[in-house]
């Protein structure tokens, strides 16, 4: 089985940031949440709140989107082209995408790609997490909870935070743009 990070790995960019910018343009009232996000970032940088706590403040913009399902559909209509070509040629139906991005955001595109998804569980109406941010070691916990005794054939990521997954994979690859190199040969 092959496992892939999403943002920066198979998606050209950060889907959460792209959806946030898309939402602010479509729903300017969501700008009100910017103050909460900046305050949350400040608290995170000073070690007062966790990354999950910061992200919950960031996701407050979701409260200002009247029809989230419609906006998700429209967003992916405009952004699906950012799925990298190399991934589309390699893709298999039993691939697992594992990401810190919200599950509600990635589910529509992963369903369309017909692949499995493990991602951060975030309420799409309030921005509140129902669990930990799916990041670093948490990715391994979530993967093993959903697929006990999984054997990862190949793992792909653009992030050092995914080193724990790279270490338990038979083969691991570092993705930089469209360049794919063995994990151990990446620039440290």
Look at residue 185 in the predicted model and tell me its pLDDT.
Answer: 87
- Could you tell me how many helices (H) and strands (E) the chain has, helices first? 8, 6
pTM: 0.94
Look at residue 188 in the predicted model and tell me its pLDDT.
Answer: 59
DSSP string across 60-123: GGGGG-S-HHHHHHHHHHHHGGGB-HHHHHH--TT-EEEEEEEHHHHHHHHHHHT-EEEEE-B-
> Whose CA is closest to 90, among 18, 163, 160, 153?
153
d(CA 156, CA 169): 10
Domain 2-185 indexed as CATH 3.40.50.300: no
Look at residue 146 in the predicted model and tell me its pLDDT.
Answer: 96
Look at residue 34 in the predicted model and tell me its pLDDT.
Answer: 87
Domain boundaries, the chain: 2-185
For every one of its 188 residues, what pLDDT tens digit does the chain have, with 9 covering 90 and above?
A: 999 999 999 999 999 999 999 999 999 999 888 888 899 999 999 999 999 999 999 999 999 999 999 999 999 999 999 999 999 999 999 999 999 999 999 999 999 999 999 999 999 999 999 988 999 999 999 999 999 999 999 999 999 999 999 999 999 999 999 999 999 988 75
Structure tokens at 148: 């006990």
């Amino acid at each position: 089985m092959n496992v892939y990070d999403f943002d920066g790995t198979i998606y050209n960019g950060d889907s959460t940031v792209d959806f946030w910018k898309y939402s602010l343009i479509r729903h300017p009232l969501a700008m009100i949440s910017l103050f909460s996000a900046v305050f949350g970032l400040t608290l995170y940088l000073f070690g007062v709140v966790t990354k999950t706590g910061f992200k919950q403040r960031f996701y407050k913009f979701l409260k200002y989107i009247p029809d989230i399902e419609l906006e998700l559909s429209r967003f992916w209509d405009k952004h699906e082209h950012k799925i990298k070509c190399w991934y589309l040629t390699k893709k298999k139906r039993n691939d697992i995408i594992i990401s810190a991005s919200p599950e509600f955001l990635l589910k529509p595109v992963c369903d369309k790609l017909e692949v499995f998804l493990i991602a951060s569980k975030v309420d799409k109406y309030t921005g509140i997490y129902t669990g930990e941010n799916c990041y670093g070691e948490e990715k391994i916990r979530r993967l093993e909870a959903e697929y006990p005794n999984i054997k990862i054939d190949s793992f792909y990521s653009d992030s050092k935070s995914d080193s724990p997954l790279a270490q338990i994979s038979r083969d691991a690859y570092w993705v930089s743009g469209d360049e794919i190199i063995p994990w151990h040969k990446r620039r440290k």
